[in-house]
């Protein structure tokens, strides 16, 4: 009996006992040949052009900031990303000497951490920008609830520690902003931070 006939015999048998035969290899090949990947942009032929547009936009915004003397070649890269984000979102202050807002501090911390993970400056800016936007939109309502969720999980894992923190009034003073609003940027080492951010990008902030 040939290999094809054996495969066909098993398929017929499986169908008789209620299991529909599936040619995994063929199905996988069909999926791999499919041009629509479901990732930005949907057609891989557009990737190079989209990246070219993003690079041009990056350079245009950077040039504008240099013209108005908000940044220079000596400006730290993370601060450059912040000023670009402020300009594009219509929140650029009147002077670079103005103190930073709390949201600016969050962006700056995430940008500094992202610099350690992404080598290309254009990619780093766009990833930082999208990451911060996701925190500010998708997780806006969830972030204030995380301190309470943290205490609930801590109560399950180590109730004595939580009781001690409450007795000495330390629980409300824990650095929740550093942990949750900044998504552990500047708190965890890069190897751990990447794992946390993978979860956040995938759609979960309760980790």
Nearest in space to 44 (alpha carbons), one of 33, 57, 54, 60: 33
- H-helix segments, 34-145: 47-67, 77-88, 102-115, 121-137
Nearest in space to 101 (alpha carbons), one of 120, 85, 122, 118: 85
Residues 6+ apart with CB under 8 A from 18: none
**pTM score over 0.85:** no
Per-residue tens of pLDDT for the chain, all 207 residues: 454 544 455 555 556 655 555 554 555 566 555 555 544 566 666 778 888 899 999 999 999 999 999 999 999 999 999 999 999 999 999 998 899 999 999 999 999 999 999 999 999 999 999 999 988 888 888 888 889 999 999 999 999 999 999 999 998 899 988 888 899 998 888 888 888 888 888 777 776
Residue 43 DSSP symbol:
B
CATH 2.60.40.420 assigned to domain 9-137+175-202? The reply is no
Distance between CA atoms of residues 55 and 121, nearest Å: 9
Beta pairing partners, 36:
43
Q: Which two tokens mark 165? A: 């923190």
């Amino acid at each position: 009996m040939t290999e094809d006939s054996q495969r066909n015999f098993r398929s017929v048998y499986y169908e008789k006992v209620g299991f529909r035969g599936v040619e995994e290899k063929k199905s996988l090949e069909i999926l791999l040949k499919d041009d629509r990947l479901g990732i930005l942009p949907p057609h891989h032929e557009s990737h190079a052009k989209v990246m070219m547009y993003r690079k041009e936009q990056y350079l245009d915004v950077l040039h504008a900031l240099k013209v108005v003397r908000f940044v220079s070649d000596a400006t730290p890269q993370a601060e450059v990303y912040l000023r670009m984000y402020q300009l594009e979102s219509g929140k650029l202050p009147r002077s670079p000497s103005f103190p930073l807002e709390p949201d600016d501090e969050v962006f700056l911390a995430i940008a500094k951490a992202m610099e350690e993970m992404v080598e290309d400056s254009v990619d780093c800016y766009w990833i930082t920008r999208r990451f911060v936007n996701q925190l500010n939109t998708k997780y806006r309502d969830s972030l204030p609830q995380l301190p309470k969720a943290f205490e609930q999980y801590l109560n399950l894992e180590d109730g004595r520690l939580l009781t001690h923190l409450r007795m000495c009034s330390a629980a409300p003073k824990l650095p929740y902003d550093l942990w949750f609003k900044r998504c552990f940027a500047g708190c965890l080492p890069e190897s751990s931070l990447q794992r946390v951010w993978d979860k956040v990008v995938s759609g979960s902030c309760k980790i």
